[in-house]
Amino acid sequence: MSKSKPTGQGDQLDPRKQMILRAVVFEYVTGAEPVGSELLTQKYELGVRSATVRNELAEMSDLGYLDQPHTSAGRIPSDLGYRYFVDHMIVYRDLGPHAKRQVQTITRDGELLQTLLTETTSLLSRLTRLMSAATTITNQHLRAKSAMLTALGPDRALVVLVLSNGHVENKLVECPEGMTLAHIGRANNELMGLINEKSLTELVSLSSATHHSSDPAYDRLMHNVLHVIQSICRDLTKGKIIVEGEEYLFGQPEFMRDPAPLQQLLQHIEDRGTASLATSKKDEHGLDVKIGKENNLQVWKQFAVIRHPFFVGDQEMGNLTIVGPTRLDYESNIPLLTYAAQAVSDTLTKIFGPGK
Protein backbone atom coordinates (compact mmCIF):
# COMPACT_ATOMS: atom_id res chain seq x y z
CA MET A 1 0.00 0.00 0.00
CA SER A 2 1.14 3.53 -0.72
CA LYS A 3 1.21 5.80 2.27
CA SER A 4 1.39 9.55 2.73
CA LYS A 5 3.17 11.27 5.55
CA PRO A 6 0.73 13.37 7.57
CA THR A 7 1.09 17.13 7.62
CA GLY A 8 2.37 18.34 10.95
CA GLN A 9 1.19 21.18 13.17
CA GLY A 10 2.18 24.71 12.28
CA ASP A 11 3.01 24.10 8.62
CA GLN A 12 3.32 27.25 6.55
CA LEU A 13 1.69 25.98 3.36
CA ASP A 14 -2.06 25.95 2.88
CA PRO A 15 -3.69 23.21 0.73
CA ARG A 16 -3.44 25.21 -2.51
CA LYS A 17 0.26 25.92 -1.99
CA GLN A 18 0.82 22.25 -1.20
CA MET A 19 -0.87 21.27 -4.49
CA ILE A 20 1.31 23.73 -6.37
CA LEU A 21 4.48 22.58 -4.62
CA ARG A 22 3.70 18.94 -5.45
CA ALA A 23 3.13 19.87 -9.09
CA VAL A 24 6.38 21.87 -9.27
CA VAL A 25 8.33 19.02 -7.68
CA PHE A 26 6.83 16.47 -10.08
CA GLU A 27 7.48 18.59 -13.17
CA TYR A 28 11.03 19.48 -12.18
CA VAL A 29 11.91 15.91 -11.20
CA THR A 30 10.62 14.77 -14.58
CA GLY A 31 11.91 17.52 -16.87
CA ALA A 32 14.77 19.27 -15.05
CA GLU A 33 13.47 22.62 -16.35
CA PRO A 34 11.99 25.57 -14.38
CA VAL A 35 8.22 25.38 -14.07
CA GLY A 36 5.94 28.30 -14.95
CA SER A 37 2.36 29.19 -14.05
CA GLU A 38 1.03 28.58 -17.58
CA LEU A 39 2.24 24.97 -17.57
CA LEU A 40 0.75 24.33 -14.14
CA THR A 41 -2.69 25.69 -15.03
CA GLN A 42 -2.74 23.71 -18.29
CA LYS A 43 -1.73 20.35 -16.78
CA TYR A 44 -3.24 20.47 -13.29
CA GLU A 45 -6.74 21.17 -11.99
CA LEU A 46 -5.79 23.85 -9.50
CA GLY A 47 -9.12 25.68 -9.67
CA VAL A 48 -7.57 29.11 -10.21
CA ARG A 49 -6.28 31.21 -13.09
CA SER A 50 -2.70 31.50 -14.22
CA ALA A 51 -2.31 34.92 -12.58
CA THR A 52 -3.30 33.49 -9.21
CA VAL A 53 -0.83 30.61 -9.63
CA ARG A 54 1.84 33.13 -10.56
CA ASN A 55 1.16 35.05 -7.33
CA GLU A 56 1.28 31.82 -5.31
CA LEU A 57 4.62 30.90 -6.89
CA ALA A 58 6.00 34.32 -5.99
CA GLU A 59 4.77 34.01 -2.40
CA MET A 60 6.23 30.51 -2.05
CA SER A 61 9.53 31.87 -3.36
CA ASP A 62 9.44 34.57 -0.68
CA LEU A 63 8.83 31.85 1.93
CA GLY A 64 11.88 29.98 0.67
CA TYR A 65 10.17 26.89 -0.77
CA LEU A 66 10.93 27.74 -4.41
CA ASP A 67 13.86 29.26 -6.25
CA GLN A 68 13.88 31.23 -9.51
CA PRO A 69 17.12 30.55 -11.44
CA HIS A 70 16.58 33.56 -13.72
CA THR A 71 14.20 36.49 -13.51
CA SER A 72 12.44 35.45 -16.71
CA ALA A 73 12.33 31.75 -15.85
CA GLY A 74 9.84 29.65 -13.93
CA ARG A 75 10.41 28.19 -10.48
CA ILE A 76 12.23 25.15 -9.17
CA PRO A 77 11.97 23.59 -5.71
CA SER A 78 14.52 24.82 -3.17
CA ASP A 79 16.17 22.52 -0.65
CA LEU A 80 13.55 23.71 1.85
CA GLY A 81 10.80 22.89 -0.66
CA TYR A 82 12.11 19.36 -1.13
CA ARG A 83 12.42 18.95 2.64
CA TYR A 84 8.79 20.05 3.13
CA PHE A 85 7.73 17.64 0.40
CA VAL A 86 9.65 14.70 1.93
CA ASP A 87 8.51 15.41 5.50
CA HIS A 88 4.86 16.22 4.89
CA MET A 89 3.61 15.38 1.40
CA ILE A 90 5.45 12.35 0.09
CA VAL A 91 3.39 9.39 -1.10
CA TYR A 92 5.62 6.34 -1.26
CA ARG A 93 5.06 4.37 -4.44
CA ASP A 94 4.70 0.60 -4.25
CA LEU A 95 7.54 -1.31 -5.86
CA GLY A 96 6.45 -3.19 -8.93
CA PRO A 97 6.70 -7.00 -8.87
CA HIS A 98 9.55 -6.91 -11.40
CA ALA A 99 11.74 -4.69 -9.18
CA LYS A 100 10.94 -6.85 -6.14
CA ARG A 101 11.90 -10.03 -8.00
CA GLN A 102 15.19 -8.45 -9.11
CA VAL A 103 16.08 -7.43 -5.55
CA GLN A 104 15.06 -10.81 -4.15
CA THR A 105 17.07 -12.68 -6.76
CA ILE A 106 20.22 -10.63 -6.18
CA THR A 107 20.06 -10.81 -2.39
CA ARG A 108 18.89 -14.43 -2.14
CA ASP A 109 21.75 -15.72 -4.31
CA GLY A 110 24.48 -13.66 -2.64
CA GLU A 111 26.82 -15.77 -0.53
CA LEU A 112 29.77 -13.46 -0.06
CA LEU A 113 29.28 -10.00 1.41
CA GLN A 114 31.36 -8.26 -1.28
CA THR A 115 29.43 -9.95 -4.09
CA LEU A 116 26.08 -9.32 -2.41
CA LEU A 117 26.71 -5.60 -1.95
CA THR A 118 28.26 -5.11 -5.40
CA GLU A 119 25.29 -6.71 -7.13
CA THR A 120 22.80 -4.85 -4.93
CA THR A 121 24.33 -1.42 -5.57
CA SER A 122 24.60 -2.16 -9.28
CA LEU A 123 20.91 -3.08 -9.37
CA LEU A 124 19.93 0.04 -7.40
CA SER A 125 21.78 2.20 -9.92
CA ARG A 126 20.11 0.52 -12.88
CA LEU A 127 16.65 0.86 -11.34
CA THR A 128 17.08 4.48 -10.20
CA ARG A 129 19.44 5.73 -12.96
CA LEU A 130 21.43 7.31 -10.13
CA MET A 131 24.64 6.58 -8.24
CA SER A 132 24.43 4.10 -5.39
CA ALA A 133 26.90 2.93 -2.79
CA ALA A 134 27.34 0.37 -0.05
CA THR A 135 29.58 0.89 2.94
CA THR A 136 30.51 -1.61 5.61
CA ILE A 137 31.70 -0.79 9.10
CA THR A 138 33.78 -2.87 11.49
CA ASN A 139 34.49 -2.69 15.23
CA GLN A 140 31.77 -0.07 15.55
CA HIS A 141 30.65 -1.39 18.94
CA LEU A 142 34.11 -1.37 20.52
CA ARG A 143 34.53 1.28 23.19
CA ALA A 144 37.51 3.19 24.48
CA LYS A 145 38.31 2.36 28.08
CA SER A 146 40.94 5.05 28.49
CA ALA A 147 43.34 7.37 26.71
CA MET A 148 46.67 8.61 28.02
CA LEU A 149 49.21 11.10 26.75
CA THR A 150 52.91 10.64 27.61
CA ALA A 151 55.59 13.20 26.80
CA LEU A 152 58.59 11.86 24.84
CA GLY A 153 60.39 15.16 24.54
CA PRO A 154 59.72 18.86 23.95
CA ASP A 155 58.09 18.31 20.56
CA ARG A 156 56.62 14.80 20.68
CA ALA A 157 54.24 12.77 22.81
CA LEU A 158 52.64 9.34 22.64
CA VAL A 159 48.87 8.80 22.65
CA VAL A 160 47.86 5.42 24.11
CA LEU A 161 44.27 4.29 23.53
CA VAL A 162 42.97 1.23 25.44
CA LEU A 163 39.87 -0.49 23.98
CA SER A 164 37.12 -2.49 25.62
CA ASN A 165 38.41 -5.76 24.10
CA GLY A 166 41.85 -5.23 25.67
CA HIS A 167 43.47 -4.04 22.46
CA VAL A 168 45.93 -1.15 22.83
CA GLU A 169 46.68 1.38 20.10
CA ASN A 170 49.39 4.02 20.27
CA LYS A 171 50.48 6.79 17.97
CA LEU A 172 52.90 9.71 18.05
CA VAL A 173 51.56 13.25 18.20
CA GLU A 174 53.35 16.53 17.52
CA CYS A 175 53.50 18.94 20.42
CA PRO A 176 53.26 22.71 19.95
CA GLU A 177 55.94 25.14 20.97
CA GLY A 178 55.55 26.16 24.61
CA MET A 179 54.09 22.85 25.78
CA THR A 180 54.89 21.89 29.38
CA LEU A 181 54.35 18.82 31.56
CA ALA A 182 51.49 20.74 33.16
CA HIS A 183 49.79 20.74 29.75
CA ILE A 184 50.23 16.96 29.55
CA GLY A 185 48.63 16.46 32.96
CA ARG A 186 45.76 18.78 32.10
CA ALA A 187 45.21 16.95 28.80
CA ASN A 188 45.06 13.57 30.54
CA ASN A 189 42.45 14.85 32.96
CA GLU A 190 40.33 16.16 30.10
CA LEU A 191 40.74 12.97 28.07
CA MET A 192 39.25 10.94 30.93
CA GLY A 193 35.93 12.72 30.46
CA LEU A 194 36.06 13.02 26.68
CA ILE A 195 37.08 9.47 25.79
CA ASN A 196 35.96 7.09 28.52
CA GLU A 197 33.42 4.46 27.33
CA LYS A 198 32.69 6.18 24.02
CA SER A 199 32.32 3.92 20.99
CA LEU A 200 34.86 4.11 18.18
CA THR A 201 32.22 5.57 15.85
CA GLU A 202 31.48 8.31 18.40
CA LEU A 203 35.19 9.09 18.65
CA VAL A 204 35.50 9.34 14.86
CA SER A 205 32.95 12.17 15.03
CA LEU A 206 34.61 13.87 18.01
CA SER A 207 35.24 17.50 17.11
CA SER A 208 38.82 18.72 17.40
CA ALA A 209 38.09 22.11 15.87
CA THR A 210 35.95 23.62 18.64
CA HIS A 211 38.42 23.33 21.53
CA HIS A 212 39.11 26.81 22.90
CA SER A 213 40.67 27.99 26.15
CA SER A 214 42.81 30.93 27.21
CA ASP A 215 45.98 28.91 26.54
CA PRO A 216 46.85 28.62 22.79
CA ALA A 217 49.57 26.00 23.38
CA TYR A 218 47.14 23.77 25.27
CA ASP A 219 44.43 24.24 22.64
CA ARG A 220 46.87 23.24 19.90
CA LEU A 221 48.00 20.21 21.87
CA MET A 222 44.40 19.02 22.39
CA HIS A 223 43.60 19.63 18.73
CA ASN A 224 46.52 17.42 17.73
CA VAL A 225 45.67 14.72 20.29
CA LEU A 226 42.01 14.51 19.30
CA HIS A 227 42.98 14.44 15.63
CA VAL A 228 45.28 11.46 16.31
CA ILE A 229 42.56 9.64 18.29
CA GLN A 230 40.12 10.22 15.42
CA SER A 231 42.70 8.81 13.00
CA ILE A 232 43.18 5.67 15.14
CA CYS A 233 39.44 5.07 15.43
CA ARG A 234 38.85 5.77 11.74
CA ASP A 235 41.43 3.13 10.81
CA LEU A 236 39.92 0.62 13.25
CA THR A 237 36.39 1.12 11.92
CA LYS A 238 37.35 1.46 8.28
CA GLY A 239 35.21 -0.86 6.25
CA LYS A 240 34.78 -1.11 2.51
CA ILE A 241 32.98 1.11 0.05
CA ILE A 242 31.40 0.05 -3.21
CA VAL A 243 30.20 2.73 -5.64
CA GLU A 244 28.16 2.03 -8.77
CA GLY A 245 26.39 4.17 -11.33
CA GLU A 246 28.58 7.26 -11.58
CA GLU A 247 27.83 7.31 -15.30
CA TYR A 248 24.13 7.83 -14.61
CA LEU A 249 24.85 11.05 -12.70
CA PHE A 250 27.05 12.36 -15.50
CA GLY A 251 24.00 11.89 -17.73
CA GLN A 252 21.77 14.08 -15.53
CA PRO A 253 21.05 17.51 -17.08
CA GLU A 254 22.54 19.42 -14.13
CA PHE A 255 25.89 17.69 -14.45
CA MET A 256 25.94 17.60 -18.22
CA ARG A 257 25.86 21.41 -18.06
CA ASP A 258 28.46 21.59 -15.29
CA PRO A 259 30.23 18.33 -14.38
CA ALA A 260 32.64 19.98 -11.90
CA PRO A 261 30.51 19.40 -8.74
CA LEU A 262 30.14 15.71 -9.57
CA GLN A 263 33.85 15.33 -10.35
CA GLN A 264 34.69 16.95 -7.01
CA LEU A 265 32.27 14.64 -5.19
CA LEU A 266 33.74 11.50 -6.76
CA GLN A 267 37.24 12.67 -5.82
CA HIS A 268 36.03 13.29 -2.26
CA ILE A 269 34.57 9.78 -2.04
CA GLU A 270 37.78 8.29 -3.41
CA ASP A 271 39.89 10.24 -0.91
CA ARG A 272 37.72 9.72 2.17
CA GLY A 273 36.36 6.22 1.54
CA THR A 274 33.65 5.06 3.94
CA ALA A 275 33.97 8.25 6.01
CA SER A 276 32.63 10.23 3.03
CA LEU A 277 29.27 8.47 3.38
CA ALA A 278 29.02 8.37 7.17
CA THR A 279 25.49 8.86 8.46
CA SER A 280 24.48 11.52 10.91
CA LYS A 281 20.85 11.74 11.99
CA LYS A 282 18.44 8.91 11.18
CA ASP A 283 14.70 8.66 11.68
CA GLU A 284 13.04 5.95 13.75
CA HIS A 285 13.27 3.54 10.80
CA GLY A 286 16.99 4.14 10.25
CA LEU A 287 16.42 6.33 7.18
CA ASP A 288 18.68 9.33 6.64
CA VAL A 289 17.71 11.85 3.94
CA LYS A 290 19.92 14.88 3.35
CA ILE A 291 18.92 17.44 0.72
CA GLY A 292 21.33 19.96 -0.76
CA LYS A 293 22.48 22.47 1.84
CA GLU A 294 21.43 20.15 4.67
CA ASN A 295 24.65 18.24 3.98
CA ASN A 296 27.48 19.42 6.22
CA LEU A 297 30.27 19.48 3.65
CA GLN A 298 30.32 21.89 0.70
CA VAL A 299 31.11 19.10 -1.74
CA TRP A 300 27.71 17.48 -1.03
CA LYS A 301 25.54 20.61 -1.18
CA GLN A 302 24.31 20.10 -4.76
CA PHE A 303 23.19 16.53 -4.07
CA ALA A 304 20.48 14.61 -2.30
CA VAL A 305 21.65 11.60 -0.29
CA ILE A 306 19.37 8.81 0.93
CA ARG A 307 20.91 6.24 3.29
CA HIS A 308 19.52 3.15 4.99
CA PRO A 309 21.43 0.76 7.26
CA PHE A 310 21.58 -3.01 6.87
CA PHE A 311 22.07 -5.45 9.72
CA VAL A 312 23.13 -8.90 10.84
CA GLY A 313 20.47 -9.60 13.43
CA ASP A 314 20.30 -6.39 15.44
CA GLN A 315 23.91 -5.37 14.76
CA GLU A 316 24.36 -2.62 12.17
CA MET A 317 26.89 -3.67 9.54
CA GLY A 318 26.77 -0.85 7.02
CA ASN A 319 24.62 1.36 4.81
CA LEU A 320 23.11 1.38 1.35
CA THR A 321 23.03 4.84 -0.22
CA ILE A 322 21.44 6.51 -3.23
CA VAL A 323 23.01 9.77 -4.46
CA GLY A 324 21.47 12.08 -7.03
CA PRO A 325 20.60 15.68 -7.79
CA THR A 326 18.22 17.30 -5.30
CA ARG A 327 15.37 16.78 -7.79
CA LEU A 328 15.57 12.98 -7.54
CA ASP A 329 12.33 10.99 -7.26
CA TYR A 330 11.97 10.61 -3.50
CA GLU A 331 8.61 8.84 -3.70
CA SER A 332 10.09 5.94 -5.67
CA ASN A 333 13.67 5.83 -4.44
CA ILE A 334 13.06 5.85 -0.68
CA PRO A 335 10.86 2.71 -0.69
CA LEU A 336 13.21 0.97 -3.14
CA LEU A 337 16.23 1.62 -0.93
CA THR A 338 14.31 0.54 2.18
CA TYR A 339 13.25 -2.70 0.51
CA ALA A 340 16.78 -3.44 -0.71
CA ALA A 341 18.32 -2.76 2.73
CA GLN A 342 15.82 -5.11 4.36
CA ALA A 343 16.51 -7.82 1.79
CA VAL A 344 20.27 -7.50 2.35
CA SER A 345 19.72 -7.65 6.14
CA ASP A 346 17.60 -10.78 5.81
CA THR A 347 20.25 -12.54 3.73
CA LEU A 348 23.17 -11.52 5.96
CA THR A 349 21.28 -12.61 9.08
CA LYS A 350 20.60 -16.03 7.56
CA ILE A 351 24.28 -16.47 6.67
CA PHE A 352 26.09 -14.77 9.53
CA GLY A 353 23.47 -14.38 12.27
CA PRO A 354 23.62 -15.82 15.79
CA GLY A 355 24.23 -19.56 15.79
CA LYS A 356 25.73 -19.56 12.28
pLDDT tens sequence across 190-206: 998 888 888 887 888 77
Which residue in 80, 29, 84, 74 sits closest to 325, CA to CA?
Answer: 29
Share of the chain above pLDDT 70, in %: 89
pLDDT reported for residue 8: 39
Q: What pTM was estimated for this model as a whole?
A: 0.71
**Helix 97-109, helix 113-128: angle, nearest 10:** 160
Q: How many other CB atoms are found less than 10 A from the CB of residue 150?
A: 12
**What is the predicted pLDDT for the residue at 167?**
81
The pLDDT tens digits for 241-289 are 899 999 999 999 999 999 999 999 999 988 877 666 765 566 666 899 9
pLDDT band at 294 (very low <50, low <70, confident <90, very high): very high
CA 17 distance to own-chain centroid: 29
Strand spans (E) along 227-273: 241-244
| Burial class of residue 154, CB neighbours in 10 A (0-12, 13-18, 19+) | exposed
Return the H-helix or E-strand segment holding 113: helix 113-128
Which 3 state secondary structure label does DSSP give 91?
strand
